[in-house]
A and B are shown apart, each in its own frame.
Chain A
């Protein structure tokens, strides 16, 4: 009820309000390609956002490949510290055990990297 009264009071305009309205009034502006320009900018921004993650992943991968190979080599050398009996036992059970372990580690590293980029 109160808001209705307020709205009604707002709608009651005196001659001064009408004069001001006529002074502030202006002809509508023709579009003339304005909206097309805005949409073009929006589409460009969308594409940029879509490309950001893959490009960042490629650039990040290219930067990380050298230290990553070093890390893999270091991890491989660590495997020499593991008693030979255990290594031979696991390779006897699963022949590709070493590759699986390295692959899993790389997968985890990639997932963490992608998550960090997304954040």
Chain B
């Protein structure tokens, strides 16, 4: 195990391409990144593949980490972008298959949970759009501040707040949760 905070480890990676230091960063943050992507994709194996891709992108772009925000915030930004790119690719793939008439394959390639594995959280996430899901998970599961989410998603802070508000509204109406703020 290597000591030092995240920023020291990043400095070691940038200055000498230290793979051991990068390994320590991966070990520290893999759980949060994998949890984040599991909630977004609702598929463990897809999420783990995307997590690996995310860390590979992080290795490539680590010189771009300015050190202003937290490292996990920066990592989740990459994870979110990786998820959106993969989603776009699979959508395009599905469209091409649909064009050539492979409906059964299209259905099997979409991110979906098995009916026997559906948890309360899956039901909750199912009512949200990808954007709302990403932002809600960053806020409530990863504990990022609105500012950090704004940096991760490249959205203004006000938009982040309104997306969270909208997501909460959807959950409230779908699961009949009483509005605690307004009585």
Contacts and interface: CB of A to CB of B under 8 A. Distances in A.
Given A23-B120, A24-B141, A28-B31, A14 B180 contact: yes
B141 A34 contact: no
Instruction: Give the interface size bracket for B toward A.
Output: 35 or more
A42 B27 contact: no
A14 B168 CA distance: 12
Determine which residue in A19, A29, A36 has the highest number of CB atoms from chain B within 10 A of its CB, and name it: A29
In which size bucket is the chain A interface? 20 to 34
* Centre residue among A7, A36, A42 by max chain B CB count within 10 A: A42
Interface of A: 6-7, 10, 14-17, 19-21, 23-26, 28-31, 34-39, 41-43, 45-46
30 contacts: A6-B146, A15-B180, A16-B172, A20-B136, A20-B171, A23-B124, A24-B121, A24-B141, A26-B141, A28-B31, A28-B35, A29-B30, A29-B31, A31-B30, A34-B30, A34-B34, A36-B23, A38-B23, A38-B26, A38-B30, A38-B56, A39-B19, A39-B20, A39-B23, A41-B56, A42-B19, A42-B56, A42-B59, A45-B56, A46-B17
Interface of B: 17, 19-20, 22-23, 26-27, 30-31, 34-35, 38-39, 48, 51-52, 55-56, 59, 120-121, 124, 136-137, 140-141, 145-146, 168, 171-172, 177, 179-181
Given A20-B136, A28-B31, A34-B34, 20 more contacts: A10-B145, A10-B146, A14-B180, A17-B140, A20-B171, A23-B120, A23-B124, A24-B39, A24-B137, A26-B38, A26-B121, A28-B35, A31-B31, A34-B51, A35-B27, A38-B26, A38-B55, A38-B56, A39-B26, A45-B59
